Structure 1
């Protein structure tokens, strides 16, 4: 993992959840200062094919909060991406488990999107694939709720005190 590498959002096919997470986190970081503002955010899927279009409902759900992800194209999660990443952020425990089983080495900062929420909060973000728009909007809202805690975690990875 690289201290200057991207934060990677991970889901299954990289066409629903992880593109939404990428767009939301990128938007949140743009409003930060210092090293957080310059973090790169990308997304990938553990079972993704290259070049698939993002789901229409994902685009619509984010467009409703002023974020455009229409140009996103899917990509598979590779060992090279993992090796270059600052952090790998998964939507579900199954994604994290698969990375634990297949990555060599396992990334030290491998977490769930909602992992930094208060105790008792759901940790996983369910796959909305094939569901109606309100399910995608709920998925988006679960991510929006978790963004502040995720940003605080990322700040610990890039803070000047940590670099010493």
Structure 2
């Protein structure tokens, strides 16, 4: 059975933030018994880590929370992703600009937005990159809250038809 809604999370290297969001969102979807209604993926705007599994810090925090990242490998975002995903969620505003550039004029009508738009009450514009800052626990906290908000948004959007 094919998923009716597809979600793509995007960050810079696709080894820290976006795979964390992918894994958390998959976990939430499975817990709600929605794996055949929502499909989740992640990609990066940079090619440094192509084919690599999530960063050790991401794997550690996901393990601590019992969230699987099995089979995940870094890949690049591609212009074809615009046609394949209903929700394209960028972990920071630089990623958002880069993705808009990759998608070109098509990006105007997409459900393309910054992750922290899901959590306006947090007062944070971007999900910080733990690759540089090492703050994987804080990033997990933001990611989990944002994925919960996105799941509720998707369920509401789907109910509206």
Asked whether the two chains share a fold, i.e. TM above 0.5, the reply is: yes
* 2:112 aligned residue: 110
Q: Cα deviation per residue 1:93-146 (whole Å; 9 max; x = unaligned)?
A: 1111112223131151001222122445313101111444xx111111111122
The 3 A distance-change label for structure 1 pair 136 and 145 is same
Judged with a 3 Å threshold, the aligned counterparts in structure 2 of structure 1 residues 100 and 124 are, in CA distance, closer, same or farther, namely: same
Q: 1:145 to 1:99 in 2, by over 3 A?
A: same
Change (3 A) 1:120 1:60: closer
Preserved contact between residue 82 and residue 110 of structure 2 (Cα < 8 Å): no
Alignment of 1:71-110 (within 5 A): 71-104=71-104, 105-106=106-107, 108-110=110-112
Partner of 1:54: 54
* Structure-2-length-normalised TM-score: 0.85
Bigger helix share: 2
Distance (whole Å) between structure 1 residues aligned to residue 46 and residue 18 of structure 2: 12
1:58–1:120 Cα change, 3 Å? closer
Query: Does structure 1 residue 39 correspond to structure 2 residue 34?
Result: no
Q: C-alpha distance in 2, partners of 1:41/1:127? A: 20
C-alpha displacement at 1:44, in angstroms?
0.3
The answer on whether the counterparts of 2:4 and 2:37 sit within 8 Å (CA) in structure 1 is no
Gaps of 5+ in 1: none
Mark the CA change 1:119 to 1:130 in structure 2 (over 3 Å): closer, same or farther.
closer
- Name structure 2 gaps, 5 residues minimum: none
